[in-house]
Each structure stands twice: as structure tokens, then as C-alpha cells.
């Protein structure tokens, strides 16, 4: 990878952390459970997003008003995220590295499974600006969120890189970030290269047999500039 055309970044858990308590998360899961239970679906909503999606698909197959129920479900989730975003905190070292990359002309894009309102609020709370990013894709901007390739492909399209043999770096803390990146490479209309960098310790436990999805590991943000330099060497 001689030159990186763009850096794709996850938000929650990677750049910053939404402040969501266990109690608030459990209360949201129960609200979602009650909503879908009214329509004959009893789930624990672990994980939340994936369970919402599969539950809505099941309702649609039954001919139930999945769109209206989906609006209610995502509103419940939006409320949780926006409250957590109001108390978001930036990850150690992230601000300096992002400012340095932005100042040097690095093209950065934010790709988040959070709703757009929560993304904007979290960035503002953390002292970051949307203007740092060449594009921002939230779950509200796609039909299918990560690990589906759509968010990556949409970002490539926005940057006018989808039909070019681009070299991309994907930085995230979740297995879904890595899966989305690899899936995008598989279906892109032209040959492209994506190097995946996992940040933090949790992803080591989550990957299991899928460790091959990750090219490089970073203990924290201060490791990332050197890793990027190494990729371009």
C-alpha cells in the first residue's frame, strides 16, 4: 500500500465513547422487547441493532406494518444514543492524531452505526468538528449498517473513489468494522485495497477464528501514526 487515499473511521468505541449506563441500556432493551412483543416477537435484543433488523424482517414476512414499527424502534434507540452522546468523551490521544491528519491533508471519513443526530451531538460534546471529515455516513444514511458493505461502498461513492483502484485504511474497535471492510472489497466494482486496523483490547476477544480480518493492531491512538507510516512505506 504505497499511498493511502482515505482513512475510514468508526466512531463509538474508536474515536470517542458514548456514556451509556448498563441500566439505561437494559431499559432500552426492555422497551424494544415490549414493542415487538405486542406483535408476537419476543427477543432479548442482544445485540440491539441486529435484533431490531431481524425482528423487522420477520414482521415484514408476516405482512405486519414493519416500517411503522421500525420507526418506533429506532426512535427508542435514538433516544438512548443521543443521551449517551450528550456525555460522550474522546478516546485518549484521538484528538491530536485526528487534528494532525486533518492538518496534513489526510482525507478522513466517519462511518458509524449510530444515528446521525447522536453522531453530531457526540462530536460536538467531544470538541470535534464534522468539518474534519470528508464524509459522514450514519445508520440513517444506509439501508443496512455494518457489517454489511453498504456503508463502506457509500463512503467510497461520496469520495468518488468507488470506480478507482483506491487504497483505504479502516480503523475500528469492532468485528463489524472489519467485516464491513472486507465485504466491500469483495463486491467493489474495481480492484481496491483496504487495510484494517483494530484499536483496543476488546476486539481481540471478539475475533476468535476471524483474526484474519485484521491487518494491524493498535493498543491506542498514539500507535496509529506509525502504523499508517508503515503501511505507506
Same domain? For 93 and 80 the reply is no
Same domain? For 81 and 101 the reply is no
pTM (2 d.p.)? 0.95
**pLDDT for residue 205:** 78
Tell which residue, 36, 82, 52, 7, has the closest CA to residue 144: 52
Which domain does 57 fall in, by range?
Answer: 22-85
**Model pLDDT for residues 93-116, shown as the tens digit of each residue:** 999 999 999 999 999 999 999 999
CATH number at residue 158: 3.40.50.1000
Last residue of a domain, one of 66, 85, 104: 85
Same domain? For 76 and 108 the reply is no
**Model pLDDT for residues 54-85, shown as the tens digit of each residue:** 999 999 999 999 999 999 999 999 999 999 99
Q: Please, which pLDDT band fits residue 203 given cuts at 50, 70 and 90?
A: confident
Asked if residue 1 is part of any domain, the answer here is: no
DSSP conformation letters of 12-69: BTTTEE----HHHHHHHHHHHHHHHHTTT-----SSHHHHHHHHHHHHHHHT--HHHH
Distance CA 110, CA 7 (A): 9
Q: Please, which pLDDT band fits residue 207 given cuts at 50, 70 and 90?
A: confident
Report percent pLDDT > 70 for the chain: 99
Query: Does residue 204 surpass a pLDDT of 80?
Result: no
Amino acid at each position: 500500500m504505497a499511498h493511502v487515499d482515505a482513512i475510514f473511521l468508526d466512531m463509538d468505541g474508536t474515536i470517542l465513547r458514548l456514556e451509556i449506563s448498563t441500566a439505561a441500556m437494559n431499559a432500552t432493551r426492555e422497551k424494544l422487547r415490549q414493542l415487538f412483543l405486542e406483535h408476537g416477537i419476543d427477543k432479548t435484543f442482544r445485540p440491539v441493532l441486529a435484533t431490531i433488523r431481524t425482528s423487522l424482517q420477520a414482521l415484514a414476512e408476516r405482512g405486519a406494518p414493519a416500517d411503522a414499527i421500525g420507526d418506533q424502534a429506532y426512535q427508542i434507540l435514538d433516544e438512548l444514543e443521543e443521551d449517551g452522546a450528550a456525555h460522550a468523551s474522546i478516546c485518549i490521544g484521538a484528538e491530536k492524531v485526528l487534528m494532525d491528519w486533518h492538518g496534513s491533508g489526510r482525507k478522513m471519513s466517519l462511518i458509524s452505526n449510530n444515528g446521525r443526530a447522536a453522531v453530531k451531538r457526540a462530536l460536538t460534546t467531544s470538541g470535534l468538528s464534522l468539518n474534519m471529515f470528508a464524509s459522514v455516513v450514519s445508520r440513517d444514511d444506509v439501508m443496512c449498517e455494518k457489517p454489511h458493505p453498504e456503508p463502506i461502498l457509500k463512503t467510497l461513492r461520496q469520495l468518488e473513489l468507488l470506480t478507482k483502484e483506491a487504497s483505504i485504511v479502516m480503523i475500528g474497535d469492532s468485528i463489524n468494522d472489519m467485516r464491513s471492510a472486507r465485504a466491500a472489497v469483495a463486491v467493489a466494482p474495481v480492484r481496491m485495497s483496504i487495510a484494517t486496523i483494530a484499536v483496543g483490547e476488546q476486539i481481540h476477544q471478539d475475533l476468535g477464528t476471524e483474526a484474519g480480518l485484521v491487518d494491524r493492531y493498535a493498543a491506542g491512538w498514539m500507535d496509529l501514526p506509525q502504523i499508517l507510516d508503515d503501511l505507506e512505506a
